[in-house]
Homo-oligomer: A and B are copies of this chain.
Amino acid sequence: MLLTSACKYGIQATIYLGMQKDDSFVSIKKIAEEFTIPFHFLTKVLQLLTQAGIVESTKGAKGGVRLGKDPDVITLFDIIAVIDGEGIFHDCMLGLPGCGLNTPCPAHEFWAPIRTKYEKSARAISLKDLASDTISKNLRIGK
């Protein structure tokens, strides 16, 4: 599995937030229902993103979450790194310590280019890209 469920949920939620027209708060419950994500689980995922500054939240009536930065400067890399960690972008495919050209494993030549492409693409794609694509091409985020 490339991404944990937590991370998939986080990406769905942030794309959804990126699609909002104004900057009012959206309740987590609403997002959870929209994509059929377990509410309390999504709560914890969004707390991670909130702590990282990617998402802002307020409690109470009319509270909820919204993006904490311009969707232009939030990348897919940022979201994945916060929830799943940067391991997927740096680690040895076989789990050996210290992947690098000094002490490569047999899979290195195979994996390093793919991983690099994955990281570069993830750093290059912003939440604005994802959200505006979703709107303009009427894509599905969930279901």
If A87-B1, A114-B118 touch, whether A11 touches B94 (CB-CB below 8 Å) is yes
| The residue from B103, B104, B131, B140 contacting A103, defined by CB atoms under 8 A apart | B140
**Given the complex of chains A and B, what is the CA–CA distance between A138 and B108 in angstroms?**
13
Q: Does A45 contact B (CB under 8 A)?
A: no
Check B121 against A114 for contact (C-beta < 8 Å).
yes
**Given the complex of chains A and B, what is the CA–CA distance between A50 and B74 in angstroms?**
46
**Given the complex of chains A and B, what is the CA–CA distance between A11 and B108 in angstroms?**
13
Chain A residue total in the interface (Cβ 8 A): 41
Q: Does A8 contact B (CB under 8 A)?
A: yes
- CB-CB under 8 A from A113, the residues of chain B are 117, 121
Q: Does A5 contact B (CB under 8 A)?
A: yes
Check A96 against B143 for contact (C-beta < 8 Å).
yes
- CB-CB under 8 A from A141, the residues of chain B are 94, 105-106
Q: Does A15 contact B (CB under 8 A)?
A: yes
Chain B residue at minimum C-beta to C-beta distance from A95: B8
Q: Does A48 contact B (CB under 8 A)?
A: no
Q: Does A133 contact B (CB under 8 A)?
A: yes
CB distance from A20 to the nearest CB of B (A): 15
Interface residues of A in 111-143 (CB under 8 A from B): 113-114, 117-118, 121-122, 125, 130-131, 133-134, 137, 139-143
Shortest beta-carbon contacts, A-B, top 10:
A106-B130, A106-B134, A8-B95, A8-B94, A106-B139, A114-B118, A110-B125, A15-B106, A106-B133, A110-B121
